[in-house]
Amino acid sequence: MKQLKAIIFDVDGTLAETERDGHRIAFNLAFTDAGLDWNWDESLYGDLLAVTGGKERIRYFLSDFHTDFKHDDIDSLIVNLHARKTKHYVALLESNAIALRPGVERLIEEARAAGLILAIATTTTPQNVTALVSSTLGEQALAWFDCIAAGDIVPAKKPAPDIFDYCLQELGLSADECLVFEDSANGVRSSCGANIMTIVTQNNYTHNDDFSGAITVLDHLGEPDLACTVISGDEISGSYITVDDLKQIHANG
């Protein structure tokens, strides 16, 4: 096992709980703008999360949930709806930032101080990453990430490993020099498919997911005043995850 050099973060569900109160709302606003009466409630959205990528998710909704919908040009409809959705999502984050999950900012700061490389590998559109990072950590934080691999930069989205393979290539690192943080089964399949050791911080939408292949599953990263729980994997030294824990997990794995 090589030395731990980089941490690669997923975004949606991992850095922040963006799905229910961000992406879902933005999709619904785009549908309303287009005069469509579709409404993705919290429960339906949970089912739709089986497919990653916003355009892919709309297509999945039409093929499996709203099968009697007819349109002359579905492809253009999806592209236009998605462009509108991205505008709404960015505006939403700019007007009312969605907070980072417990421990995320703390661990990012600790990792930077320890000289670890930071990167992002996500299915979501690049503008969405920019909006989330700027609205939570500040615009200067975008430069903290040596690689932000996002959206359509690879044709096959998670659970395919392509976005992580791309990220490794950009970083010039091998899989065994990195650790990934993910929140979903699709994410774990993707990162493990790229042979990168993966820690899961599960959430309300993903707590029943199959995280086979992940080295550790936690409820969140924890803070000094908010203990995290290890759901599977080795116990950690204290009540929240530190860079020393990451080095230990990486070395033991």
Single out the residue of 9, 40, 92, 125 in contact with ligand XBP (rule: CB under 6 A): 125
Strands of 230-232's sheet in order across: 145-150, 117-122, 6-9, 178-182, 197-201, 216-218, 230-232
Q: Would you tell me how many other CB atoms lie within 10 Å of the CB of residue 72?
A: 6
Q: Is 209 in the site for Mg ion (CB under 5 A)?
A: no
Q: Of Mg ion, ligand XBP, none, which one sits near residue 52, judging by CB under 5 to 8 A according to partner kind?
A: ligand XBP
21 counts as catalytic: no
CB 167 within 8 A of CB 149: yes
Binding mask 168-187 for Mg ion (x = CB under 5 A): ---------------xx--x
Q: Is 54 in the site for Mg ion (CB under 5 A)?
A: no
Of 7-15, 102-110, 164-172, 198-206, the window that binds ligand XBP (rule: CB under 6 A) is 7-15
CB-nearer residue toward ligand XBP: 117 or 180: 180
225 counts as catalytic: no
Single out the residue of 12, 165, 177, 209 in contact with Mg ion (rule: CB under 5 A): 12
Binding mask 125-164 for Mg ion (x = CB under 5 A): ----------------------------------------
CB 151 within 8 A of CB 11: no
Of 11-19, 61-69, 219-227, 231-239, the window that binds ligand XBP (rule: CB under 6 A) is 11-19
DSSP 147-207: EEEEGGGSSS-TTSSHHHHHHHHHHT--GGGEEEEE-SHHHHHHHHHTT-EEEEE--TTTT
The one-letter code for the residue type at 155 is: P
State yes or no: cis peptide before 161, omega within 30 of 0: no
Residue numbers 36-55 binding ligand XBP by CB under 6 A: 52-54
Cβ neighbours of residue 68 closer than 8 Å, sequence gap 6 or more: none
CB 14 within 8 A of CB 100: no
CB-nearer residue toward Mg ion: 10 or 17: 10
End-to-end CA distance of the chain: 8
Binding mask 194-233 for ligand XBP (x = CB under 6 A): ----------------------------------------
Catalytic residues: 10, 12
Q: Which residues of this chain interact with ligand XBP, rule CB under 6 A?
A: 10-13, 19, 23, 52-54, 85-86, 122-125, 128, 158, 184, 186-187
